[in-house]
Amino acid sequence: MNAAERLMEYVKYETTSDENSGKHPSSDGQLVFAEHLAEEMRRIGIRDVRLNRYGCLFGSIPATPGLEHLAPVGLLAHMDTSSEAPGNNVNAQIIRSYSGGILPLGSSGKQLDPEHFPALNHLIGHTLITTDGTTLLGADDKAGIAEIMTAAERILSSGTPHRKICIGFTPDEEIGQGTDFFDVTDFGAAYAYTVDGGGGGEIEYQNFNAASAQVRITGRSVHPGSAKNVMLNAQKLAMEFHALLPPDESPEKTADLEGFYHLIHMEGTTGSAALAYILRDHDAARLEEKKLRMREGADLLNRKYGPGTVKLTLQDSYRNMEEIIRRNPVLIRMAEEAARKAKLSPRILPIRGGTDGAMLSFKGLPCPNLGTGGYNFHGEFEFASATEMEAVVDQLVFLISDRSEVQIVLPEGIAAPLTART
């Protein structure tokens, strides 16, 4: 079975994560899918397959005799899909030898238009897998799972010499909980790659530093007929708070390494209002400046309208893994060389988001991210290039059969997993 065939099978499993469920994993479908993958792993010959009660699925392939001294490599992908579009009853379409132009998405009335999605212009001749316009596809990150499984099967069936391979599939990456119950020592790798990026050939090791902000505003609600000099409309104060933030530092006005403030939710009445933000910046110092800007805004309104009017809660989410990966350039060199051998054009790109790899890097498992051949994640316009997916499988095979010596260097205060040190 090739990677595209696996993806077509995997997307039938509904694995939408739910940040409000209070469960780990956050949705039952993820465990159903994990059990399916565990069975498949055993069937193709992956050893020591184990699924913990939180939905983390691990397995391994022992090193070829004579290569046991090489540092074990990990391959990782996540099982859940985003809640931003329906993830059940996925009816994927296959377009063979894409000739260009507009692609209708089933009978939904939606279409993939190169004018809006210019990546299509670089995929002429490729076999594409799309949605029918009513759901997401789930290539994020079932394409990564399919590629890892296909690469593992190929390694096992071909007898290609390789270092020890550790395979892991995580739940709840989309809600930032993918590594909460990930035991790095039990996983067993010295370093790893998440296979969770976009176009084939992408290599990413810079992600946002991230924080969240909750703003709660207390107003005074009175009858509007007698409100003069008495009413304090919390909704207007919410707008006033937001207006204190730089208008050009928002997702729709930034790119590349530029950070932003993103208002993701707001609600309110005259008496109370709430705003929820995510703060992002590749530069840690600039993220701290953004947090300071919000504190100053809250302080200003509290001086203006009275103490306790605005309550601000800030919480750090994750850090830029560049701090770890830049100490280990061999990981990027190996990924680039493997991409070239697979006839992919390696492209170093910053991640305008987060990844399980960022969390794991700060747990002592350096973890750059690789492209999957998937595009337009988190919506009905999501699609994947089956052609690129097969090239990514080649890239993974070249990567895990690379015999380069890897000595991981970690900053003070971050310890390597015990199994990786022995």
Once rounded to an integer, what is the mean pLDDT over residues 131-154?
Answer: 98
What's the pLDDT at 89?
Answer: 96
> Average of pLDDT values for 170-191?
94
Q: What is the pLDDT of residue 418?
A: 62
Segment 234-253 shows an average pLDDT of 97
Q: State the average pLDDT over residues 400-410.
A: 95
**Is there a catalytic annotation at residue 173?**
yes
pLDDT at 322 over 90: yes
Write down the catalytic residue from 18, 40, 173, 322. 173
67 pLDDT higher than 90: yes
Mean pLDDT of all residues in 184-199: 97
pLDDT digits (tens, 9 = 90+) for 380-402: 999 999 999 999 999 999 999 99
- Which residues make Cβ contacts (< 8 Å) with residue 272, sequence separation at least 6? 216, 217, 218, 219, 234
Place 204 in a pLDDT band, splitting at 50, 70 and 90: very high
Measured distance CA(301)–CA(277) in Å, rounded:
18
User: Catalytic: which of 40, 80, 204, 380?
Assistant: 80
Contact status, residue 199 vs residue 301, Cβ threshold 8 Å: no
- Tokens coding 69: 């001294």
Strand (E) positions, 113-155? 128-130
Question: What single letter denotes the amino acid at residue 246?
Answer: P
Average pLDDT over residues 67-86: 96
- Comparing 41 with 318, the larger pLDDT belongs to 41
Give the pLDDT of residue 419: 55
Q: Can you tell me the distance from the alpha carbon of 400 to that of 422, in angstroms, rounded to the nearest whole number?
A: 20
Question: Residue 422 pLDDT more than 50?
Answer: no
Give me the domains of the chain, ranges plus CATH numbers: 3-207+320-421 (3.40.630.10), 209-318 (3.30.70.360)
Is the pLDDT reported for residue 61 higher than 70?
yes
Assess whether pLDDT exceeds 70 at residue 420: no
Q: Report pLDDT digits (tens) over 326-359.
A: 999 999 999 999 999 999 999 999 998 888 999 9
Residue of higher predicted confidence among 418 and 70? 70
For the stretch 25-53, pLDDT in tens is 999 999 999 999 999 999 999 999 999 99
- In this structure, is the dihedral angle defined by the CA atoms of residues 182, 188, 192 and 194, taken in order, positive or negative? negative
Q: How many CA atoms lie within 13 A of 14 on its CB side?
A: 12
Q: Is the pLDDT of residue 62 over 80?
A: yes
As given in the structure block, the two tokens for residue 232 are 């304090």
Q: What is the pTM of this model?
A: 0.90
Measured over the CA atoms of residue 151, residue 155, residue 160 and residue 166, the dihedral's sign is positive
Res 33: pLDDT: 98
CA distance linking residue 13 with residue 142, whole number of Å: 10
Cβ neighbors of 141 (< 8 A, separation 6 or more) are 77, 78, 79, 173, 195, 196, 372, 374
* Percent of the chain clearing pLDDT 90 (strictly above): 94
pLDDT value for 421: 40
Q: Which tokens in the block code for residue 373?
A: 């051949």
pLDDT at 318: 86
